[in-house]
């Protein structure tokens, strides 16, 4: 090895790799030059890439870096590929933590929120992420929420927002109602604070999301991860079946309507069960049963939702004394009430078929009610001691009048049709999904633009009076009620209908309303005459790529689809879906494989890491940990490896000084090998980034770096192939490690900015290998390798393979039974069977 090529020597010339000396400089310059501004009048093809905006909790944690670096890389590559990329950022400004900070520490929520936003904006700049800050949206700003109020009024006019009584989930700690989607786990905890929720009957604002249940089940034409589709589908919970009317014996009482997915089992319906809350309960209950029924209803009301939904609990219920008529058998069947029938699902009443439903079976056994099997496999074998719920292909109806012998699948339709002809039933679809409770009894949110007049009731605030501004001078003493309720100046309003005195709505909107349309506001961030302009929305929407956490599967990711469809029906947008493609990042865990939390002491603060390693190393290491959608544990030593890699790139890319290195014999082949490595890396990295495989993209870049280093040691530094390799390496690194790529690009005398250079294209001739190594297998086991040129004829390869002594050993002189060749991939010699 000559002195010139000794690694240490060139390092001394180049100076130490120290990101702190150049990273801040480039960030300032990129920002000053508005390198990432997306312009409406740009003729290049648009690409709208969006990552979920953060809640301004105060600090950007490593998880934010992880979530945002992925889409930033994709956005940067697409920019270099000549597209007009919009990659905006904003803040989810409203929310409870701000209000809690006010209560705990006496800071106004606005002050707390905007201070946090300032800090987080600074931290995001530190990441070197290419956000278009000119489009920033802050949802707690009146210029934003004014238009949210405007949209609310459009929803209200269209009947998509309405006020109604309902049994809602209530968090006793946050003193606020929650949407069903915001209640988590078997023990039904508040999604924010983890407190078990209670059920309360309250008058609330709702969004009619259920109008769109069917459409929300349709994922055609959009690319969502399978788990998200499954979760949304389960959440919406579509069931097909029938609604059937069971007349009662009482005079002048409407029949009991039930929903069932198993109309084929109606001949086995031996009793009925109503939810305790069912409106017919007081009407139907006989005098002698009244005391028992009322006691049960009262107890059911007191029981918590947790108790009630506990499937382990033994069934309870009481007889009402009343009877219904099974419309198919004309039998009198008793009507019971029980809390395992839920008031909010289906019709709140069921026909109980104990032979074919486990819950009904349990109930019938406990209360000694008849159990009649009406479906059986062809063998006629019926279970004992349990319900028959599983299906067999040959099952048929038994003991079912004229339908006896009919396959059950056919009977579902036949029986429903028969009931329909008699006016006693119809095909029906039911959903688990309920409407979205949109109001919150809190201060720090978007005020609902409604006033209440003694005479005219709820009245929308006229558009000209928007925004209804959140007053700043409020008292945050923890009284448990929204400070808006005691703010006279806010409460006092005028009825738009009569001009008389009115009282303002004090509920504010769920913060998920804010995030249901922010992506549209990014298209028209400065519009002051509308929430957004149709031409700009038409130009940018739909989002081409949306990224964020999977924990929003049935919350934000359902709500923003609903909003988009509702806005389409209001004529405000022209798309059916907000985004064409969704990707979820995984979670970064602590080094101990646990979730990062202050109490565990395993939290990695990004600012410290940047100070020590630079932003590029943090970005690259996070992306290198594993598949982006999988996440993984932070490794305090792993980042050293990425740092070392950047150091190797740094030294390899320093411009050659003086005469180029002496090139010895064989240099031509070495140069060709380096070119092959370079050009095959272009294709690999491009595909990997497109598919969110940042970990393998980086490993390919490391491998190319290793090839470059070896070629330098072989004396190639300064050669054409070497310079090309370095420059392509820098271009491919630019999206991932933007600072070092820019710095080295400049040091090599290339024009500013590397981020505005065209993305490299592989030369197919170089990308193709000159020689390939073919594995030779005998009976599928590797025995030898052949080095051949790609155009070697198959007969020649077969001859070489059979000539191999390693192959001969297994053939023992016999001719092979078969020789399988996969061109360019392998040869497999199959030995004859003895």
- Positions in 615-634 near RNA (CB under 7 A): 624-627, 630, 632-633
640 binds RNA (CB under 7 A): yes
The helix or strand, by DSSP H or E, that contains position 323, with its residue range, turns out to be strand 318-325
Q: Would you count residue 186 as binding RNA (CB under 7 A)?
A: yes
Q: Which 548-567 residues touch RNA, going by CB under 7 A?
A: 550-551, 553-554
Q: Chain-centre distance of CA 143, in angstroms?
A: 28
Contact 730, 744 (CB under 8 A): yes
Contact set for RNA, span 414-443 (CB under 7 A): 430, 432
Per CB under 7 A, does 359 bind RNA?
yes
Q: List residues bridging with 89 in a β-sheet.
A: none
Rounded to an integer, what distance in angstroms lies between the CA atom of residue 473 and that of residue 487? 9
Smallest gap from Cβ 128 to RNA, in A, equals 21
In angstroms, what is the minimal distance from the CB of 104 to RNA? 27
- State which of positions 251-270 bind RNA (CB under 7 A): 258-262
Nearest to 636 by CA among 623, 625, 650: 625
Q: How far apart, in whole angstroms, are the C-alpha atoms of residue 814 and residue 827?
A: 18
CA 468/CA 461 separation, integer angstroms: 8
Question: Which of 234, 304, 597, 771 lies at the binding interface for RNA (CB under 7 A)?
Answer: 234
Parallel, antiparallel, or unpaired for β 183-184 and 189-190?
A: antiparallel
The reply on whether position 310 binds RNA by CB under 7 A is: yes
| Residue number with CB closer to RNA (117 or 558) | 558
> What is the C-alpha end-to-end distance of the chain, expressed in Å?
56
Which residues are within 8 A (CB) of 157 and not within 5 positions of it... i.e. 6 or more apart? 460
Whole-number minimum distance, CB 95 to RNA, in Å?
20
* Bridge partners for 206 per DSSP: 162, 437
Query: Site residues for RNA, window 125-184 (CB under 7 A)?
Result: 184
| Between 153 and 774, CB nearer to RNA | 774
For RNA, the closer of residues 225 and 718 by Cβ is 225
**Can you tell me which of 67, 85, 102, 341 binds RNA, judged by CB under 7 A?**
341
Q: How far is the CB of 740 from RNA (least distance, A)?
A: 14
Nearest distance from C-beta of residue 165 to RNA, angstroms: 19
Which of 105, 302, 598, 818: binder of RNA (CB under 7 A)? 818
Between residues 99 and 339, which has the closer beta carbon with respect to RNA?
339
> Which residues face 428 on adjacent strands?
241
Q: Which of 162, 219, 319, 345 binds RNA (CB under 7 A)?
A: 345
**Contact with RNA (CB under 7 A) among 699, 757, 792, 808:** 699
Work out whether strand 508-509 and strand 439-440 pair parallel, antiparallel, or are unpaired. Answer: antiparallel
Please report whether residue 645 would count as binding RNA according to CB under 7 A.
Answer: yes
CB of 321 to RNA, least distance (A): 21
* Beta-carbon contacts of residue 779 (< 8 Å; ≥ 6 apart): 810, 828, 829, 830, 831
Q: Which of residues 207-226 bind RNA (CB under 7 A)?
A: 226
85-93, 123-131, 140-148, 703-711 -> range binding RNA (CB under 7 A) = 703-711
Residues 647-676 within binding reach of RNA (CB under 7 A): 647-648
Short-list 16, 112, 127, CA closest to 56: 112
Give 657 or 779: the residue with its C-beta nearer to RNA: 779
Omega into 467 within 30° of 0, i.e. cis? yes
Q: Which of residues 62-91 bind RNA (CB under 7 A)?
A: none
Shortest Cβ 89–RNA spacing (Å) = 27
Is the peptide bond prior to 542 cis by the omega test (within 30 degrees of 0)? Answer: yes
DSSP 1-47: --TTT-HHHHHHHH----GGGTHHHHHHHHHHTTTT---TT--SPEE
DSSP per position, 578-590 = SBSBEEEE-EEEP
Query: Is 717 one of the binding residues for RNA (CB under 7 A)?
Result: no
Q: In the structure encoding, which two tokens stand for residue 119, read together?
A: 């800090």
Quote the least distance from Cβ 19 to RNA, whole Å: 13
Position 812 contacts RNA (CB under 7 A): no
Subset of 767-806 contacting RNA (CB under 7 A): 773, 775, 777, 779-780, 782, 785, 806
Residue with tokens 């769109």: 212
């Amino acid at each position: 090895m000559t002195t010139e090529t000794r690694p240490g020597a060139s390092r001394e010339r180049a100076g130490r790799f120290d990101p702190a000396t150049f990273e801040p400089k480039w960030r300032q310059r990129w920002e000053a030059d508005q390198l990432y501004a997306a312009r409406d009048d740009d003729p290049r093809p648009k690409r709208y890439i969006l990552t979920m905006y953060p809640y301004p909790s105060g600090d950007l944690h490593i998880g934010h870096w992880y979530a945002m670096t992925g889409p930033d890389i994709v956005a940067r590559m697409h920019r270099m590929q000549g597209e007009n990329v919009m990659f905006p950022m904003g803040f989810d400004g409203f929310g409870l933590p701000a209000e809690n900070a006010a209560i705990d520490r006496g800071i106004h929520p606005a002050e707390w929120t905007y201070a946090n936003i300032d800090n987080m904006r600074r931290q995001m700049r530190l990441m070197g992420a290419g956000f278009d800050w000119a489009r920033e949206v802050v949802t707690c700003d009146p210029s934003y929420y004014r238009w949210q109020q405007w949209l609310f009024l459009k929803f209200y006019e269209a009947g998509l927002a309405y006020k109604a009584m309902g049994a809602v989930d209530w968090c006793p700690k946050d003193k606020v109602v929650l949407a069903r989607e915001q209640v988590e786990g078997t023990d039904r905890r508040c999604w924010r604070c983890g407190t078990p929720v209670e059920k309360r009957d309250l008058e609330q604002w709702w969004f009619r999301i259920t109008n769109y249940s069917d459409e929300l089940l349709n994922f055609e034409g959009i690319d969502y991860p399978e788990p998200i589709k499954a979760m949304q589908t389960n959440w919406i919970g579509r069931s097909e079946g029938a609604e059937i009317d069971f007349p009662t014996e009482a005079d002048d009482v409407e029949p009991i309507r039930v929903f069932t997915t198993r109309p084929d089992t109606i001949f086995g319906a031996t009793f009925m069960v109503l939810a305790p809350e069912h409106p017919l309960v007081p009407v139907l209950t006989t005098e002698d049963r009244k005391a028992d029924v009322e006691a049960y209803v009262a107890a059911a009301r007191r029981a918590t939702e947790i108790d009630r939904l506990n499937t382990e609990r033994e069934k309870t219920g009481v007889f009402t004394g009343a009877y219904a008529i099974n419309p198919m058998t004309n039998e009198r069947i008793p009507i019971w009430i029980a809390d395992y029938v839920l008031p909010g699902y289906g019709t709140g009443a069921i026909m109980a078929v104990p032979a074919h439903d486990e819950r009904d079976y349990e109930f019938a056994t406990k209360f000694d009610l008849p159990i009649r099997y009406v479906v059986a496999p062809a063998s006629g074998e019926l279970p004992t001691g349990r319900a028959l719920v599983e299906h067999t292909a040959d099952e048929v109806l038994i003991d079912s009048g004229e339908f006896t012998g009919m396959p059950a699948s056919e009977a579902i339709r036949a029986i429903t049709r028969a009931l329909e002809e008699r006016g006693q039933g119809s095909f029906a679809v039911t959903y688990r999904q309920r409407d979205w409770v949109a109001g919150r009894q809190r201060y720090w949110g978007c005020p609902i633009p409604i006033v209440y007049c003694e005479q005219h009731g709820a009245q929308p605030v006229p558009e000209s009076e928007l925004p209804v501004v959140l007053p700043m001078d409020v008292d945050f003493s923890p009284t448990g009620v929204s400070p808006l309720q005691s703010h006279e100046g806010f409460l006092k309003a005028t009825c738009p209908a009569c001009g008389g005195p009115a009282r303002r709505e004090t509920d504010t909107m769920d913060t998920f309303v804010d995030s249901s349309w922010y992506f549209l506001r990014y298209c028209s961030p400065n519009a002051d005459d509308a929430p957004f302009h149709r031409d700009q929305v038409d130009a940018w929407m739909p989002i081409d790529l949306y990224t964020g956490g999977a924990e929003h599967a049935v919350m934000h990711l359902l709500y923003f689809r609903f909003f988009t469809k509702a806005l389409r029906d209001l004529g405000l947008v022209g798309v059916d879906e907000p985004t064409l493609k969704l990707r979820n990042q995984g979670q970064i865990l602590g080094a101990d494989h646990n979730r990062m939390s202050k109490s565990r002491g395993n939290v990695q603060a990004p600012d410290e890491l940047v100070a020590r390693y630079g932003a590029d190393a943090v970005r690259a290491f996070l992306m290198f940990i594993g598949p982006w959608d999988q996440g993984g544990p932070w490794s305090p030593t792993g980042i050293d490896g990425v740092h070392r890699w950047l150091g190797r790139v740094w030294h390899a890319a320093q411009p050659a000084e003086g005469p180029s290195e002496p090139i010895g014999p064989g240099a031509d082949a070495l140069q060709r090998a380096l070119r092959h490595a370079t050009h095959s890396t272009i294709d690999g990295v491009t595909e990997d980034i497109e598919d969110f495989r940042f970990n393998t993209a980086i490993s390919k870049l490391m491998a190319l770096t290793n090839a470059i280093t070896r070629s330098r040691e072989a004396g190639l530094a300064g050669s054409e192939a070497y310079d090309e390799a370095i420059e392509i390496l820098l271009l491919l690194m630019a999206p991932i490690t933007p600072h070092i790529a820019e710095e080295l690009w400049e040091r090599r005398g290339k024009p500013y900015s590397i981020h505005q250079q065209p993305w490299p294209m592989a030369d197919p001739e170089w990308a193709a290998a000159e020689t390939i190594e073919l594995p030779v297998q005998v009976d599928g086991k590797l025995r030898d390798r052949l080095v051949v040129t790609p155009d070697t004829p198959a007969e020649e390869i077969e001859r070489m393979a059979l000539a191999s002594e390693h192959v001969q050993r297994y053939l023992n002189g016999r001719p092979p039974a078969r020789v399988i060749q996969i061109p360019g991939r392998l040869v497999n010699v199959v030995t004859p069977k003895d």
